[in-house]
């Protein structure tokens, strides 16, 4: 496949200004939704074959989010695209200032494997809403979902506007050697660094949605039962293969034993099992082996029985964990939850801040003082108070990381913004022009300028 030829075709199409027509964007977004709706059975079958994700979880965590993003963009893109007035200072009166959102151009979206439909198509939806042409490279790890997206999009869209390329490291590398106007990547920190370096050669702006060790801090004044219920759901959704899943728990030592009992109760009550449509396989043998190697048998509180043939690791709780343990050295990205303790909130904050800035942070507390301290003193991409993961569902909140956990954000209007350049314009009439800025200069002019400018 000649990638350069396709990107050249997309540039030519973009330069016709067709994608800047709001009605065109709306038509193509509706087309995408219709294609997905008509082929839901194929989408469900493909993802189940990749890692046994149920129809229920595929709809709730993938397709429903995609549909909502499309519906929001269709209803709001006209408003988002309007010229916006800006104030004009005394220096430029009687001029007027405004800002015009314009699409970056031809963009590359590189998707992730853990939510293969959502994390590929939602950035593409944002790019289409902004008026860009799109090259999508889904993750090759879930090969059937990648093939399905390629089939549905390439058969229903003009490749000069929206094109999917399948492939692995070589194909991605070849694409990165070509100049794009914007690159959007979702994945790991090490690969994110490679993407960033490749983009820098072309001075291409990037959005990097990465990960990290997202903490859940639990103080002794919480409703333990509700805390455990929400944490267990957020952690073991998709078998823990979620970038914003609580990576580890810091629980105040006074309530650790009660908390562990509550967690055990909700894990057992949920009866996590692929046959129950509430659990998935680990995506491949490589990740299975990586996760199994993190489990210290001496610290297992619950779970730990791994089935390599089926690639199933049950919800596993590790107790009495230290920050020096192997499970605390890298993002887990699986169904293993280390539990650590702290005595004071200052101690907990210090421990979190000794690690890289996380993508998410969750604090469970009734104390307004604790809440304020955590929000003020820990830097993280986004998070929740007394809940986990659910902040991702709010399109009014930008989703993205900070530091090692990412650059930039998207969702809703923020997705439109991330694929748009905001062009600043000052407009002035011809009928008047004060001579104060023109030569010859004089002490009087300088004095007047100082009064005007300050």
**CA angle, 367 then 372 then 378, to 5°:** 120
For residues 248 and 198, give the distance between their C-alpha atoms in angstroms, rounded to a whole number: 33
Nearest CA-CA partner of 309 in 281, 279, 273, 278:
281
For residues 337 and 430, give the distance between their C-alpha atoms in angstroms, rounded to a whole number: 68
Q: At what angle do helices 22-38 and 118-130 cross, to 10 degrees?
A: 160
Q: How many residues does the chain have?
A: 454
Q: Is 209 known to be catalytic?
A: yes
Contact 65, 395 (CB under 8 A): no
Nearest CA-CA partner of 338 in 365, 311, 319:
319
Q: At what angle do helices 40-51 and 22-38 cross, to 10 degrees?
A: 60
Contact 262, 225 (CB under 8 A): yes
| Joined tokens for residue 240 | 């823990």
Q: Is 243 known to be catalytic?
A: yes
From the candidates 69, 166, 209, 331, which is the catalytic residue? Answer: 209
For residues 100 and 295, give the distance between their C-alpha atoms in angstroms, rounded to a whole number: 53
Neighbour count for residue 173 (Cβ, 10 Å): 12
For residues 276 and 52, give the distance between their C-alpha atoms in angstroms, rounded to a whole number: 11
From the candidates 243, 306, 310, 394, which is the catalytic residue? Answer: 243
Long-range contacts of 197-202 (CB under 8 A, 24+ apart): 198/173
3-state secondary structure of 120: helix
Residues acting as catalytic residues: 209, 243
């Amino acid at each position: 496949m000649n990638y350069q030829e396709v990107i050249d075709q997309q540039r030519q199409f973009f330069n016709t200004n067709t994608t800047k027509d709001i009605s065109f964007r709306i038509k193509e977004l509706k087309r995408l939704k219709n294609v997905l709706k008509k082929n839901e059975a194929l989408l469900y079958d493909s993802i189940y074959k990749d890692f046994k994700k149920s129809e229920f979880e595929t709809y709730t965590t993938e397709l429903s989010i995609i549909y909502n993003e499309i519906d929001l963009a269709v209803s709001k893109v006209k408003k988002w695209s309007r010229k916006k007035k800006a104030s004009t200072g005394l220096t430029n009166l009687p001029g007027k200032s405004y800002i015009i959102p314009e699409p970056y151009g031809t963009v590359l979206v590189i998707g992730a494997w853990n939510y293969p439909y959502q994390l590929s198509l939602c950035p593409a939806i944002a790019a289409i809403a902004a008026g860009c042409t799109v090259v999508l490279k889904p993750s090759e790890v879930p090969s059937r979902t990648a093939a399905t997206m390629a089939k549905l999009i390439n058969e229903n869209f003009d490749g000069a506007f929206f094109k999917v390329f399948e492939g692995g490291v070589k194909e991605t590398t070849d694409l990165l050697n070509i100049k794009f106007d914007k690159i959007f990547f979702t994945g790991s920190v090490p690969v994110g660094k490679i993407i960033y370096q490749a983009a820098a050669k072309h001075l291409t702006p990037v959005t990097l949605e990465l990960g990290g060790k997202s903490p859940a801090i639990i103080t002794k004044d919480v409703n333990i039962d509700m805390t455990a219920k929400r944490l267990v759901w957020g952690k073991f959704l998709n078998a823990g293969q979620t970038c914003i899943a609580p990576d580890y728990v810091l629980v105040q030592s006074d309530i650790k034993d009660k908390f562990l009992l509550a967690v055990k109760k909700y894990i057992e009550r949920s009866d996590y099992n692929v046959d129950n449509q509430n659990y998935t396989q680990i995506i491949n043998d490589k990740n299975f082996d990586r996760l199994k190697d993190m489990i210290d048998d001496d610290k297992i509180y619950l779970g730990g029985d791994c089935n390599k043939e089926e690639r199933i690791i049950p919800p596993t709780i590790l107790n009495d964990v230290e920050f020096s343990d192997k499970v605390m050295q890298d993002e887990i990205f699986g169904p293993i939850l280390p539990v650590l303790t702290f005595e004071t909130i200052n101690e907990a904050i210090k421990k979190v801040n000794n690690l890289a800035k996380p993508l998410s942070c969750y604090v469970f507390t009734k104390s307004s003082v604790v809440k304020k301290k955590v929000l003020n003193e820990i830097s993280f991409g986004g998070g929740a108070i007394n809940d986990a993961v659910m902040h991702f569902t709010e399109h009014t909140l930008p989703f993205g990381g900070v530091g090692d956990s990412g650059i930039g954000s998207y969702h809703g209007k923020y997705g439109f913004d991330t694929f748009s350049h905001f062009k600043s314009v000052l407009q002035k009439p011809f009928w008047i022009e004060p001579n104060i800025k023109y030569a010859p200069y004089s002490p009087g002019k300088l004095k007047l300028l100082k009064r005007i400018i300050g």
